[in-house]
A and B are shown apart, each in its own frame.
Chain A
Amino acid sequence: GAGVSQSPSNKVTEKGKDVELRCDPISGHTALYWYRQSLGQGLEFLIYFQGNSAPDKSGLPSDRFSAERTGGSVSTLTIQRTQQEDSAVYLCASSFVQEQYFGPGTRLTVT
C-alpha cells in the first residue's frame, strides 16, 4: 500500500522567505508527527496531531513555525521568515498504534 509521502523532496529558499512543506500520511492512520533532522543530529520532535484533539506543539522551536492538519489527513508545516539555522531534513510520520512510519523527508536549504 501507499506509504507516507512528502513534498517537495528538496526546497532551496532565500533567508526571510516563507516555505510550506506537505505531508500525506498513510490512509487510516490517526496520528501524524513532524520531526526535523539537522546535520549529524538525531530526529527532533516538532509537533503531533491525533484525531480531533488539540495538537501538541511543544517541539516547535519558535513562533515562526506552525502546522495544520486538514480533515484529519494531509498536513502542512509552514516556516515563516526562514533563517539559515532552519536548514534541515523535515520528516513526517504517521501511526495507528505505536510504530511510526516515516515519509522520505523534505530537505530544506536556506541560503
Chain B
Amino acid sequence: DQQVKQNSPSLSVQEGRISILNCDYTNSMFDYFLWYKKYPAEGPTFLISISSIKDKNEDGRFTVFLNKSAKHLSLHIVPSQPGDSAVYFCAASADYKLSFGAGTTVTVRA
C-alpha cells in the first residue's frame, strides 16, 4: 500500500532552468513532509521540509509547496545546477515513521 507516490521516475532539465518534482500522498494524517536527495552509493541527505500548517517553505534555490486539499506537494529547484543531478525522494510523516516515495531521478543537462 503505497501512501506516498512519485509518479515521474525521471526528469531531465537544462542547467539554469527550473526543476519541478511532484509527490502525491493518500494518508490525511500526514502532518510533516520532507524531501531527500540521494547520490549513488550514499545515504539520502535531508534537503528541505514543510509542516502541514504551512503551504510554502523556501531555502535558497529550493522551495517546497504543499497543497493539503489536493494531498500534493512539489519541490522547485531554481536555477538547476549540474550538481543537482541525483535521485530525489519525497517523504511524509504522521508520527515518527517516514513513508517514502519511490524517487525521481533528476538529470541536469549542461
Instruction: Say which residue of B42, B46, B101 sits within 8 Å of A100 (CB atoms).
Output: B46
Q: Which residue of A lies closest to B90 (CB)?
A: A42
Q: Which residue of B lies closest to A45 (CB)?
A: B97
| Complex CA–CA separation, A56 to B95 (angstroms) | 12
SS of B interface (majority): strand
Task: Please give, as numbers and ranges, the residues of chain A lying within 8 Å of B93 by CB-CB distance.
Answer: 98
Instruction: Say which residue of A31, A42, A101 sits within 8 Å of B103 (CB atoms).
Output: A42
Which of chain B's residues 1-23 have a Cβ closer than 8 Å to chain A? 4, 6
B78 near A: Cβ within 8 Å?
no
| Complex CA–CA separation, A31 to B46 (angstroms) | 16
| Complex CA–CA separation, A82 to B68 (angstroms) | 42
Instruction: Say which residue of B4, B49, B101 sits within 8 Å of A98 (CB atoms).
Output: B49
SS of A interface (majority): strand
Instruction: Give the size of the chain A interface in residues (CB under 8 angstroms).
Output: 25
* Chain A 12-44: CB-based contact to B (< 8 A → 1; otherwise 0): 000000000000000000010101000011111
Q: Which residue of B lies closest to A95 (CB)?
A: B96
Which of chain B's residues 82-110 have a Cβ closer than 8 Å to chain A? 89, 91, 93, 96-103
Q: Beyond A40-B102, A45-B99, is A102–B89 a contact (Cβ under 8 Å)?
A: no
Enumerate 26 A-B pairs (CB-CB under 8 Å) in ascending A order.
Answer: A6-B43, A31-B96, A33-B98, A42-B4, A42-B100, A42-B101, A42-B103, A43-B44, A43-B91, A44-B100, A45-B98, A48-B97, A56-B96, A59-B97, A91-B44, A98-B34, A98-B49, A98-B96, A99-B49, A100-B46, A100-B98, A102-B36, A102-B43, A102-B44, A104-B43, A105-B42
